[in-house]
Amino acid sequence: MSEDVFKKIVSHCKEYGFVFQSSEIYDGLSAVYDYGQMGVELKNNIKKYWWDSMVLLNENVVGIDSAIFMHPTIWKASGHVDAFNDPLIDNKDSKKRYRADVLIEDHLAKIDDKINKEVEKAAKRFGESFDEAMFRQTNPRVLENQQKRDEIHTRFAKALNDSNLEELRQIIIDCEIADPISGTRNWTDVRQFNLMFSTEMGSTTDGAMKVYLRPETAQGIFVNFLNVQKTGRMKIPFGIAQIGKAFRNEIVARQFIFRMREFEQMEMQFFVRPGEELEWFAKWKETRMKWHKALGFGDKKYRFHDHDKLAHYANAATDVEFEMPFGFKEVEGIHSRTDFDLSSHEEFSGKKIQYFDPELNKSYVPYVIETSIGVDRMFLSVMSASYCEEQLEGGESRVVLKLPPALAPIKLGVLPLVKKDGLPEKAREIIDNLKFDFKCQYDEKDSIGKRYRRQDAIGTPYCVTVDHQTLQDNTVTIRYRDTMEQERVAIDRLAGIIADKVSLKNLLKTIG
């Protein structure tokens, strides 16, 4: 898929009420978006799929909903005040600001593209007999580019690991990376920039306190560890799940809802015995990948990316990457965070945060496995994988969102053939019976063909047409989104047919 398709997906999101630019009538607010009437349904369905997979399928995972504002010392303890920084660099000619690491990553991606194009060309030339591994090991151009890439990558990983800002700038200079706007290489030094938004709580006469908009939901879980453990009589191992907004003053805010300044996270912290964390890390990796793959977009769309640079508090970390139209990108992070957060909160709060393990007969600070997924990135991955342009017989074409039925905003479109003869009333009667289980949409405007196209464009898995025969024998024509096949069925069979495919329960059963 290409950037071109990505642009189409972005316009589709707007045209059909999925995602709008925030404050659009005031020319928008950069990297902030609103979800429209279709978008909010899809987003809620994604959240429910995640929530239920955590708290219904796991007896030992419970949920919470903590406040966005928290005591400012929490962010000192978590390391965000001192270390939640991005390295930024300015171009002196365009006066534009960039993330130094992103400039280098983009440069690496360009080299990857060159290599892949070389491989694709050769694959076409040699056809069936093409041995990709051999080609990559022997082709001089591929080898040269691969060596260049590896050298830059090694320097880059080390510079990040050592927080060596001078070296990051030097890599940009050595790689001759130019500003995409001015085209020049007139760069400033690299500086650290803290990503947290802050505001004041209380009036200044009272001595207002500087508070932060949380940059992750996880800390709300850590500081409630004892509350939940004690009131819920939770025994280790157990998890706490939360869905909520997070805020980051991203320097490079781009690629639509991929990188936003206000976004939503679904995070789960799983508390385990020290020493057992890597076993649980492997289990959660597997569980989370199963959750993604169950949506049916194809296993090739996903891969793990193990981190080169481990945060100082982590002893294992991986990303679940999804093939977006602009390449494989992180959708979810899975980290083994050791006892860093709880121990740090013990130290900063002066309160003991430990668990008494009756089997071991001792107290300890639990270790933590974290699974953290962005709702908006998940939304973008679902939209990207579902968007389809199809050529039909007779020269026609259609745009169809092949959304997993359980996530589709509307499950059933109900369409009276004409706006008279009692057909609208019959259609409404069908909706009145089904509306308790499924989100239905009534549509009587335009030809049936146009109405089908509108439902295809928002991913509605089923449409039924109510015609004159319906009044005589209580049957309707049901039309299936993906195959466009139609069949005549009795109205009282509709609930069963629809439930079979759209039920979240059935989806959960494939992973539970």
Encoded one letter per residue, x for contact with ligand GAP by CB under 6 A and - for no contact, window 209-228 reads: -------x-x----------
Cβ(37)–Cβ(17) below 8 Å: yes
Residue 86 interacts with ligand GAP (CB under 6 A)?
A: no
Q: Which stretch binds ligand GAP (CB under 6 A): 141-149, 261-269, 444-452, 482-490?
A: 261-269
Least distance in angstroms from the C-beta of 248 to ligand GAP: 5
Least distance in angstroms from the C-beta of 257 to ligand GAP: 7
- With H, G, I as helix, E, B as strand and everything else as coil, classify residue 420: coil
Least distance in angstroms from the C-beta of 502 to ligand GAP: 26
Residue 333 interacts with ligand GAP (CB under 6 A)?
A: yes
Q: Is the peptide bond before 237 cis (omega within 30 degrees of 0)?
A: yes
Which residues, numbered 362-401, are part of the site for ligand GAP (CB under 6 A)? 370, 372-374, 376-377
Least distance in angstroms from the C-beta of 332 to ligand GAP: 5
Least distance in angstroms from the C-beta of 247 to ligand GAP: 9
Q: Residue 262, by phi and psi: left (phi above 0), alpha (psi -120 to 50) or beta? A: beta
Residue 342 interacts with ligand GAP (CB under 6 A)?
A: no
For the chain, the first-to-last Cα distance in angstroms comes to 32
Cβ(324)–Cβ(318) below 8 Å: no
- Indicate the pairing of strand 440-442 with strand 462-466: unpaired
Q: How far apart are CA 230 and CA 403, in angstroms?
A: 41
Furthest C-alpha separation in the chain: 80
- 281 CB-contact burial (10 Å; exposed 0-12 / middle 13-18 / buried 19+): buried
Nearer to ligand GAP, 335 or 411 (CB): 335
Residue 405 interacts with ligand GAP (CB under 6 A)?
A: no
Q: How far apart are CA 408 and CA 434, in angstroms?
A: 16
Residue 248 interacts with ligand GAP (CB under 6 A)?
A: yes
Least distance in angstroms from the C-beta of 380 to ligand GAP: 9
Residue nearest to ligand GAP (CB): 374
Alpha helix stretches (DSSP H) within 128-276: 132-138, 140-161, 165-174, 218-222, 225-231
Q: Which stretch binds ligand GAP (CB under 6 A): 22-30, 223-231, 260-268, 281-289?
A: 260-268
Residue 411 interacts with ligand GAP (CB under 6 A)?
A: no
Query: Binding residue for ligand GAP (CB under 6 A) from 46, 54, 331, 410?
Result: 331
Interacting residues of 187 by C-beta distance below 8 A, sequence separation 6+: 89, 90, 91, 92, 169, 172, 173, 179
Query: Binding residue for ligand GAP (CB under 6 A) from 99, 149, 259, 402?
Result: 259
Task: Concatenate the DSSP letters of all residues of 385-398 into one string.
Answer: HHEEEEE-GGG-EE
Least distance in angstroms from the C-beta of 44 to ligand GAP: 17
Query: Binding residue for ligand GAP (CB under 6 A) from 86, 101, 179, 267?
Result: 267
Nearer to ligand GAP, 216 or 323 (CB): 216
Binding-site ranges for ligand GAP (CB under 6 A): 216, 218, 248, 250, 259-260, 263, 265, 267, 330-333, 370, 372-374, 376-377
